[in-house]
């Protein structure tokens, strides 16, 4: 576990794990923060990166709510 979400800090800690071991990771799920995408891309270059479903659903629900309110008026 790493305290904080600063990309430089997290990358420095993860890079202590040998690349050979990090290359065994197949898939990473993360939130939509750009720093998380950067961390995943730099530290686990051969993985499939997946955005957390919760965050995608939240954005879609907010957009739908906006449209619903617009048409209601």
| pLDDT tens profile 12-50 | 999 999 999 999 999 999 888 889 989 999 999 999 999
Dist CA 9 CA 42 (whole Å): 13
The model's pTM is 0.69
Which residues does 56 contact at the CB level (< 8 Å), separation at least 6?
Answer: 32
Give whole-number Cα distances, 56 to 11, 31, 50, 59, in Å: 25, 9, 10, 5
If pLDDT is split at 50, 70 and 90, which confidence band does 4 have?
A: confident
């Amino acid at each position: 576990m790493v305290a904080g979400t600063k990309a430089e800090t997290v990358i420095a800690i993860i890079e202590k794990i040998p690349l050979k071991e990090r290359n065994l990771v197949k898939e990473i799920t993360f939130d939509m923060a750009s720093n998380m995408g950067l961390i995943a891309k730099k530290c686990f270059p051969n993985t499939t990166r997946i955005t957390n479903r919760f965050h995608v659903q939240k954005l879609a629900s907010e957009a739908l709510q906006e449209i619903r309110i617009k048409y209601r008026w």
